[in-house]
Copies of this chain bind each other. A is one copy, B any other.
Amino acid sequence: MPAKRTIPTLDDVALAAGVSTATVSRCLNAPERVVKATRDRVLTVVQTLGYTPNFGARAMAARRTSTIGAIIPTMNNAIFARGLQAFQEQLHKRGYTLLVSSTSYRPELEEEQIRALIARGADGLLLIGYERDPAIYDYLATRDVPALIAWANERDRPEPAIGFDNRACMRALAQTVWDYGHRQIGVISATTKGNDRALRRVEGIRDTFLDRGLPPQNLSVVETPYSIKNGGAAFASLMATATPPTVVMCGNDVLAVGAIGRAQAMNLNIPEDVSITGFDDIELARIVMPPLTTVRVPHQKMGRRSADALIDMVETRTATRFAALKAKVKIRASLGKIATVADGKTAQD
């Protein structure tokens, strides 16, 4: 009974099974190249000894790891969780492992994390959004590590990306809001610095309303880091002005949920007193009262496709451009209509 204090290695297994290390290695990596009798004997020993191959050594010798790295802004809310889950399931199906790390929405940490993931042998990387120091793209290129961008897709950017067009999506929602008669608009955005997705969404809103002739002063935007609490605070500040908005469009559902909570605390009725919209359609959007009007993004599909695309990039060393995924405006009770009077001015009922 070997109560060994020492961790078993390939050598130990080989010794105990009476074969060479090469054979043991083959039993583990290409079982069909080893005759059954030998294989069984080896695998029994592996079992008995509790042997687990050393990943670092393997990576070094084999020069690949079947590992994909992903760097996301946060694991703290459902925004990335759903897509990432699908991403990882698909990777798993294709024999890859996922390594995740998060920047806590501090873009300056991203480079370090990229290095760490690459040092750990990531064969490919999933990154969120386009905006980052060009040096990072250079680094990726010298290291020859394929990277795929997700959660965004802009037609005029050359990088391979699987995602949706944040600007266009938000434009579609804004169009609906316009059609519902809103002319006094509040916007709660995530901090746009270093976050192109957030910026594009705000642009989408601006596009729509200003193109249709809304006076700029009727559109006020506040920025705040993503969190329920911050959403509430931002909402309060927007409502505290002389001409409070009739609708508050939020950069994502998390902010919107915060806004709804705060509205209730302020005894405002939604949507009678003020309408609220979100973005993403996380589960919560259907749970809050009233249910949230938002943009439904195909997170699962995005995750799955990203996995396939990235693996292809890794295995074939090629990069392709992809079309943007479609998102859909989901109208729920948090958005109400405004009775429009004459020349674009509005009145509430």
What is A's interface to B at a CB cutoff of 8 Å? Answer: 3-5, 7, 50, 52-60, 75-78, 81-82, 84-85, 97, 99-100, 115-116, 118-121, 138-139, 142-144, 228-229, 257-258, 261, 264, 283-284, 286-289
Could you say which of B82, B99, B284 contacts A99, with CB atoms under 8 Å apart?
Answer: B99
Known: A228-B284, A264-B289. 7 other contacts (CB 8 A): A5-B144, A56-B57, A99-B99, A228-B283, A228-B287, A229-B283, A261-B286
Closest to A258 in B: B287
Q: A81-B75, A99-B99, A287-B228 are in contact. Are A52 and B261 (CB under 8 A)?
A: no
Which residues of chain B are within 8 angstroms of A144 by Cβ–Cβ distance?
5, 7
Q: Are A119 and B54 in contact (CB under 8 A)?
A: yes
19 residue pairs A–B, Cβ–Cβ below 8 Å: A7-B143, A7-B144, A50-B139, A50-B143, A52-B115, A52-B143, A54-B121, A55-B119, A55-B120, A55-B121, A56-B58, A57-B60, A76-B81, A76-B85, A99-B99, A100-B100, A228-B287, A261-B287, A288-B288
Which residues of chain B are within 8 angstroms of A115 by Cβ–Cβ distance?
52
Q: A4-B142, A56-B56 are in contact. Are A257 and B287 (CB under 8 A)?
A: yes
Q: Are B261 and A53 in contact (CB under 8 A)?
A: no
Which residues of chain B are within 8 angstroms of A3 by Cβ–Cβ distance?
142
Lowest 4 A-B CB distances belong to which pairs? A56-B56, A55-B119, A56-B59, A261-B287
Q: A60-B60, A287-B257 are in contact. Are A119 and B78 (CB under 8 A)?
A: no
Which residues of chain B are within 8 angstroms of A52 by Cβ–Cβ distance?
115, 118-119, 143
Which residues of chain B are within 8 angstroms of A77 by Cβ–Cβ distance?
78, 81
Could you say which of B54, B60, B78, B143 contacts A76, with CB atoms under 8 Å apart?
Answer: B78
Complex Cα distance, B286 from A142, in Å, reads 49
Complex Cα distance, B257 from A314, in Å, reads 42
Which residues of chain B are within 8 angstroms of A75 by Cβ–Cβ distance?
75, 81, 84-85
Which residues of chain B are within 8 angstroms of A120 by Cβ–Cβ distance?
55-56, 120
Complex Cα distance, B59 from A121, in Å, reads 12
A187 to chain B, nearest CB (A): 21
Closest to A229 in B: B283
Closest to A135 in B: B50
Which residues of chain B are within 8 angstroms of A100 by Cβ–Cβ distance?
100
Complex Cα distance, B143 from A75, in Å, reads 30
A144 to chain B, nearest CB (A): 7
Which residues of chain B are within 8 angstroms of A76 by Cβ–Cβ distance?
78, 81-82, 85
Complex Cα distance, B59 from A120, in Å, reads 10
Closest to A286 in B: B261
Which residues of chain B are within 8 angstroms of A59 by Cβ–Cβ distance?
56
A53 to chain B, nearest CB (A): 6
Q: Are A60 and B50 in contact (CB under 8 A)?
A: no
Complex Cα distance, B257 from A264, in Å, reads 17
Which residues of chain B are within 8 angstroms of A5 by Cβ–Cβ distance?
144
Complex Cα distance, B261 from A218, in Å, reads 35
